A and B are shown apart, each in its own frame.
Chain A
């Protein structure tokens, strides 16, 4: 299991990367900055599982909270509205 690099409450940025293959990081959140809401545990890397490999060592999975107004600059609604997304550690960079 890979050790967790980030703590709840820490600011993180999702990598703006566009690799080929099966990826569980949605396009719309790439390049966005948010706050770690919690660490969900460690899970096999889905990008490896999709290639029929074991996905080990398991990677920390985070729930990251993003302000909607930062994800969508023209967002209509309360400035406190958020979207929370599960993101694997190798997609996150410190801010």
Chain B
């Protein structure tokens, strides 16, 4: 077992995972190689994928329009496969701030952001983000002006969401790569906004 160097006993769910995995392999339903490949695949997906989408939308209005109309198709243009699920990009503007949560479990745009952070799956975030989003965002260090509208998106079913943040001031003429470096995971969940050179 990886990351078990502290010789702590396995938790209930870890034990369940090991038992189930070994059973599936023993019964020839899966091979160890397939399990490892799936884990590697998951690890290979990082927020840089989402940042690439955001940066393209910032420099290409046509792409941005297509992204907002059909997120899944627009990602395919960049060679990013968003299988089965539908992706909805929600745009931050001068008047609207968007943020994402899944109150029922932990639905997350893994194909663009990779593995969700622990706090995204916590009861605290999931229950409070719909109830008092301004207070939760303030805890992340993000103070949304009172006159701005907050839209919280609860991904309860088959859609997955990504926030399209506003492009920071002072970035005119920047390349897509340079812009993408400003966009981190939290900006695309909506608990942060990208910082420009003058912020």
Contact = CB atoms under 8 A, between A and B. Distances in A.
Interface residues of A, number: 28
A95 B136 CA distance: 32
* Most chain B beta carbons < 10 A, residue from A43, A61, A80, A86: A86
Contact of B158 (A28, A43, A76): A43
B152 A78 contact: no
Interface string A71-87: 11001111011111111
Contact of A82 (B131, B132, B151): B151
Given A41-B86, A78-B150, A24 B104 contact: yes
Interface string B124-155: 00000011111100000000001111111111
Contact of A83 (B135, B152, B159): B152
B157 interface: yes
Nearest to A40: B159
A25 B154 CA distance: 10
B159 A78 contact: no
Contact of A78 (B86, B146, B156, B157): B146
Given A72-B131, A81-B149, A26 B154 contact: yes
B152 A46 contact: no
B158 A40 contact: yes
B79 to A, nearest CB: 24
Contacts of B156: 24-26, 85-87
A82 B151 CA distance: 5
B103 interface: yes
A26 B107 CA distance: 14
B104 A85 contact: no
5 contacts: A28-B131, A76-B135, A77-B132, A84-B151, A84-B153
Interface of B: 86, 88, 103-104, 130-135, 146-159
